[in-house]
Chain A
Amino acid sequence: MNPFNNPQIDIEDLPRSEDLQYSGLETDYRSVQIISNCIFWLFFGVAFGIGFLFAIPVPKLLFYIIAAIGVALIIFSFISIFVGFRKKQYAIRDKDIHYKRGWIWTSHTVIPFKRIQHSEVVQGPVDRMFDLAKIRIFTAGGSNSDLTIPGLRVGNANQIKDLITSRIATTRKPVLTNEEE
């Protein structure tokens, strides 16, 4: 760093991430989650049903308890989708990307563009029905600090990816080329 250009920073003047304008996810993403959730519970229910009917004979009381727990979990998972959806927010600044999530346990992660290793846009089958995609951002910090922002329009996701690519394009050589012959 140039020692003659080193202005003192007033701590109060630091850019505050609280003041950012956070954007929510696309509302269609809620439908994606509801559909995925339905599919999940359907499979689960069918598997359990078959198990109870044919394989394991259980006392009636136990069956009702398990069924009640199952119904409670299903209701909870749907509430979780609706409440959690509004809590998922992201913001992009000039130099970093923020993502907030969680309604019981909340978390707010920042990844500076400088530290992003690579990013990818992924689209699941249900996402495709609604023209949505998610962006995955990888750092060297391992799975703990990797981010996945779901529920973005495909165009938006690609824009973010391009932005990240342009920001990290310090012409890094590929580390290891591994070709399958």
Chain B
Amino acid sequence: MKKSEMEFKSPSRQSRVALILIIYSRLKGFVSRLWPIILIGFFTGNFNFSNPDGLTLTIMILAVASGIAGIIAYFRYYYWIENDQFVIRKGVLSKSLTQIPMDRIQTVDFEQNLIHQIFNVVGLKIQTAGTQQAEIKMEALEVPIANALREYILSKKVDTIVTEDGTEIQSAVLPQEEIYRISFGRLIKIGLTENHLRSGFFIVFALWWFLDNLREAGLNLEDYEQEVSTAIGASLVIIGILSIVFLFLSIFISVARVVLQHFDLRLLRSDQGFKLISGLFNRKEVAAPYNKIQVLQWSQNLIQKFLGYHTIVMKQASSVEVSNKKSIQVPGVYAQDIQAIEDYLFPEREEKDIEYYAINKHFFIRPALYGGILTILLCVGLWFNKSAILFIAAVILFFLFFCYRKYLTLKKATYAINHQAVFLKGGAFGSSQWMTMLHKIQAVSIRQSPYQRRRKLADLDIHTASGTTSIPYIPLDRAAYLHDYLCYQIEVKEKHWM
């Protein structure tokens, strides 16, 4: 410990590898913003590097300038520890000095993408308990330095936790216990049971976008379209083959996505919180202290229901705006795993014998009514427009599907509130659950639309530090009562929300 303290006393720069990463991330940001232009430029042959035109030249100069700015920024970036504060000085034109009291630091997360892995460095993210942009990101530190830094920061933190909570944690390094690990076999199963429709939509969208860009780039697609459509019209076999290819591609994409994100996923826990390590090329370590987790939600789709798999998400209080990056997501967990996680997180929730209430049927009637009117108008319009009967049938079919889905949602949506926690259940074809403790609630509001006002119904919004959830279409008097009850409970609960 003493040694590491010495090391961080003087201002030091990040690892040299950070240079590569900064330039890489700047270029990536550049390309991701301008890639339609670049792509079109290549397709139309507008880019001529030996004799560049104005646009190409501007892009090149901007790219080089942003790279140079990144290099200067690297040399102007220093970090050190001073008076129990983590200090960062940075900036080229507008300089800034950021100081974070060590005991305010909530988590220190590591991140390793492919470049990090090759050079054996890690990216570092320091999160604090604040609500403003209280987050520090470092591009690259050598692994031993990063470990020492984290250990040092966390050792400082443990001291303060002893004084604040009265809990007795003797050792600085907390024992960690692995509570869940995904084998490769299960990972594949999870991938196979994902929602392939989403991947399918992604393919369709990507294809459509690509063709659209080609057309804009001046490629004459009409000729091909003719050929393709005659070929397709010629045989059902081709349609069959294409759909099978499409199906396999969808499944492949979802499996690949799951494997990339959750490869060798390990969930660890200590007395302070959870830690998640996962990822194939981009290996991530996310820490979630118990007190920072605000909301627990888990869900399963129709196929996963048969396998008993759930995806559980622990949402952390987020400093800027609610972002998914800060939630811990674990797929493929069984009901008993969820139970265990709930026990660690919210042991006082008293879920047994709790009574669930249904929401009002107007939750279904209103969209069905309005949607129905809209559908009829649309169909009449299409009829007069002499559209194909198949198209009108598709519109009606879509409406019926929408109604069915809404009906299932109505049937599944229930809520329960006891003196400790709020529980919501929902889902259409699959199922989902959401819960938070009453002391984590930030504010409550009641909302009414004119339709709801006529029927004395209301939505109850529950605001937490990781997002707002609403209980829709409940009787107004009940909403008003819950409104008052939750206010009372927030006031009575002594536990801090974080």
Q: Are B491 and A142 in contact (CB under 8 A)?
A: no
- How far does the alpha carbon of A23 sit from the alpha carbon of B95 in the complex, in Å? 47
Tell me whether B442 and A95 are in contact (CB under 8 A): no
**Are A175 and B445 in contact, CB atoms less than 8 angstroms apart?**
no
Instruction: Give the contacts of A114-159 with B (CB-CB under 8 A).
Output: 114-115, 117, 138-145
In the complex, what residue of chain B is closest to A112 when comparing beta carbons?
B490
Do B490 and A114 touch (CB < 8 A)?
Answer: yes
CB distance from B417 to the nearest CB of A (A): 12
- A59 close to B (CB within 8 Å): no
Interface of chain B residues 431 through 477 with chain A (CB within 8 A): 441-450, 453, 461, 463-465, 467-468
Q: In the complex, which residues of chain B have a beta carbon less than 8 angstroms from the beta carbon of A95?
A: 487, 491
A105 lies within 8 A of B449 (CB): yes
Q: Are B445 and A145 neighbours in the complex by a CB distance under 8 Å? A: yes
Q: B107-126: contact bitstring with A at CB < 8 Å (1 yes, 0 no)?
A: 00000000000000000000
Whether the Cβ atoms of B447 and A106 lie closer than 8 Å is yes
Given contacts A106-B448, A140-B497, A181-B97, contact A145 B491 (CB under 8 A): no
Of the candidate stretches B189-197, B420-428, B478-486, the one touching chain A is B478-486
CB distance from B314 to the nearest CB of A (A): 17
State whether the Cβ of B144 lies closer than 8 Å to any Cβ in chain A: no
Chain A residues, CB < 8 A from B99: 176-177
Q: Does B94 contact A (CB under 8 A)?
A: yes
Q: How large is the interface on B (under 10, 10 to 19, 20 to 34, 35 or more residues)?
A: 35 or more
Determine the residue in chain A with the shortest Cβ distance to B317. A140
- The residue among B317, B480, B484 with the most chain A CB atoms within 10 A of its own CB is B484
Q: Which residues on the B side are within 8 Å of A168 (C-beta)?
A: none
**Pairwise interchain contact A175-B463, C-beta atoms closer than 8 A:** no
Identify which of B130, B480, B487 contacts A176 (C-beta below 8 A).
Answer: B130
Contacting pair A110 B483 (CB below 8 A): yes
Is the beta-carbon distance between B467 and A142 smaller than 8 angstroms?
yes
* Cβ B480 vs Cβ A145 within 8 A: no
Q: Do A176 and B497 touch (CB < 8 A)?
A: no
Cβ-closest chain B residue relative to A100: B446
A15-B484, A178-B98 in contact; A141/B464 too (CB < 8 A)? yes
Interfacial chain A residues near B484, Cβ < 8 Å: 14-17
Which residues from B are CB-within-8-Å of A178?
A: 96-98
Which chain A residues lie closer than 8 Å to B91 at the CB level? 181
How far, in angstroms, from A95 to B131 measured CA to CA in the complex? Answer: 22
Are A180 and B485 in contact, CB atoms less than 8 angstroms apart? no
Any B CB within 8 A of the CB of A31: no
Does B488 belong to the interface (CB within 8 Å)? yes
A27 on interface, CB distance cutoff 8 Å? no
CA gap between A114 and B486 in the complex, in Å: 13
Are B98 and A107 in touch, CB under 8 angstroms? no
B463 and A179 within 8 A (CB): no
- When C-beta atoms are compared, the residue in chain B nearest to A13 turns out to be B488
Chain B contacts for A139, CB-based, 8 A: 442-443, 463, 465
Q: Please tell me which one of the listed residues A1, A108, A140, A179 contacts residue B442 in the complex, with CB atoms under 8 A apart.
A: A140
Task: Report whether A175 and B490 are in contact in the complex, using a CB–CB cutoff of 8 Å.
Answer: no
Residue of A nearest to B91 (CB): A181
How far, in angstroms, from A144 to B444 measured CA to CA in the complex? 10
| A92, CB-defined interface residue at 8 Å | no
Bits for A61-94, please: 1 = Cβ < 8 Å to B, else 0: 0000000000000000000000000000000000
Residues of A within 8 A of B101 (CB): 173
Complex-state Cα separation, A145 to B467, whole angstroms = 9
Quick check: B95 and A108 within 8 Å, CB to CB? Answer: no
Given A17-B484, A141-B468, are A108 and B490 also a contact pair (CB < 8 Å)? no
Q: Are B443 and A105 in contact (CB under 8 A)?
A: no
A130 to B317, CA, bound (A): 39
A115 touches which of B322, B481, B497 (Cβ 8 Å)? B497
Q: How far is the CA of A177 from the CA of B275 in the complex (A)?
A: 28
Residues in B with CB closer than 8 Å to A46 are none
* Cross-chain contact B446 with A107 (CB below 8 angstroms): yes
CA distance A15 to B492 in the complex (A): 13
Q: Top 3 closest A-B pairs, CB basis?
A: A175-B130, A145-B463, A141-B442
7 sampled A-B residue pairs with Cβ under 8 A: A11-B485, A17-B480, A107-B446, A111-B443, A138-B131, A141-B465, A141-B468
Known: A95-B491, A142-B321, A176-B104. 20 other contacts (CB 8 A): A15-B484, A15-B488, A104-B450, A106-B447, A108-B445, A109-B445, A114-B491, A115-B442, A115-B497, A117-B131, A139-B443, A141-B442, A142-B322, A142-B465, A143-B321, A144-B463, A175-B100, A175-B128, A177-B99, A181-B91
